[in-house]
Every structure is written in C-alpha cells, then in structure tokens.
Chains A and B, each alone.
Chain A
Amino acid sequence: NAGVTQTPKFQVLKTGQSMTLQCAQDMNHEYMSWYRQDPGMGLRLIHYSVGAGITDQGEVPNGYNVSRSTTEDFPLRLLSAAPSQTSVYFCASSYPAQGGAGELFFGEGSRLTVL
C-alpha cells in the first residue's frame, strides 16, 4: 500500500500565485487533515475532514481552502500565496477514534517556498 501520498514534494511560488497541494490515501480512512510545520512552532492544524463532503477549520485556516469530494483525496488550496505561508505541509489520515482522530498516518511532506 502507498499510504498517504503528497504532491508536489517541493514548490516555489511567487507572492500572489495560487496552487494546490495534493493529498491522497489508499487506506479508506475517513479522517484527513493538513498541518503546517514551521521551525520552533511544531505542527499546526490547518483544516481537517471527518468524511467526504465534510470539512472544518483547524488552528490556522486563513489563506487556505480545502474540499473533500472523495474519501481518498483531500487537496489544500492556497488562494493567493504570501511569504508567511512558506512552510512544510503535511497531510495525515486516520480511522476516526472516539471523540476525534485515531492513529495518524502522515505523508512525507510538501516543502513550499513563497518569494
């Protein structure tokens, strides 16, 4: 099994450009989420989804959009990139556990630089 696959692995954008980070999982997980990781800040939750058609905001949602049209895919869209969005982005999925996320399976990350 491929697990959680993120593309692209690296991306450089100019301020104001838009792009989509792709995330796909083949484990039939209902729960999917996006995090950003910045030095000294740990992982911060951007958006999450508990199933197809359902999304919700996390801790730092501003500047990002998500949709969940299928169980497998959970793309993250940057509408107008800003230098503050330079970060490493991780997608994760899990079976839902009581009250929230279970064991999370992570992708290898997408490293985004906004100039």
Chain B
Amino acid sequence: SQQGEEDPQALSIQEGENATMNCSYKTSINNLQWYRQNSGRGLVHLILIRSNEREKHSGRLRVTLDTSKKSSSLLITASRAADTASYFCATDVGSFGKGTRLHILP
C-alpha cells in the first residue's frame, strides 16, 4: 500500500495567500521528499528532509517533519499562479501518496 497520504486532496486559495498541505506515513523513514507535478508532466523534486531534521526551508517552501506523529507538512508562502499543480510526498522507499491538487485563484 502507499506509504504517504496527503491531505487535503484538493485546495483552492487566492494568489498571495499561503498554502499548507500535509502528509502522513506509516512506517519509519530515513527521509521524506516533496514533489510537484504540473498537469501532464513528470514530477519535479522540491525538497528532501531527513529523519533527524524537524524543519527545512527552500525559497518560499517550508517543510516540517514530526517523526513521532509520522507526519510532514509543506507550506508555500505568497502563492503564485505558477504554483498551481499537484503536490506529492514520498518516503525514502519510493512510495508516493495520492497528492494534493493545488489551484491558485487570480
């Protein structure tokens, strides 16, 4: 079964707002990764957080990891139209969740 599960399944926000999506997983991990997929394209790696890290930043992205709760969150600040995409979390064994579809409204 799939290791990661994202929540919510879909999210619509106004441009400029922050978007938060969550990921839960089932077993112990060495790292957790977030990916973006634009419609009809391959996935693009966004950020990797290791199991001994609690928070990581990359530009407008902020990822947190709580290994005790087996959960992670991805925050996109000051959203832009170009952020419209599906976002997936993945564990180090290569298991992906079903994704969160993010739609940025103009």
Contacts and interface: CB of A to CB of B under 8 A. Distances in A.
Main secondary structure on A side of the interface with B: strand
A106 B43 contact: yes
A19 interface: no
Contacts, number: 71
B42 interface: yes
A59 B94 CA distance: 10
B92 interface: yes
Main secondary structure on B side of the interface with A: loop
A107 B42 contact: yes
B28 to A, nearest CB: 9
Contacts of A101: 92-94
Contacts of A53: none
A30 interface: no
What are the 6 tightest A-B residue pairs by CB atom distance, in nearest-first order?
A100-B92, A99-B30, A42-B98, A106-B42, A43-B96, A106-B43
Given A59-B95, A97-B48, A102-B31, 9 more contacts: A42-B97, A43-B43, A43-B88, A45-B95, A97-B30, A104-B35, A106-B43, A106-B44, A108-B41
Interface of B: 1-2, 29-31, 33, 35, 40-45, 48, 88, 90-99
24 contacts: A4-B42, A42-B2, A42-B97, A42-B99, A43-B43, A43-B88, A44-B2, A44-B96, A45-B96, A59-B95, A92-B94, A98-B31, A99-B93, A101-B93, A102-B92, A103-B33, A103-B48, A104-B33, A104-B94, A105-B45, A106-B42, A106-B43, A108-B41, A109-B41
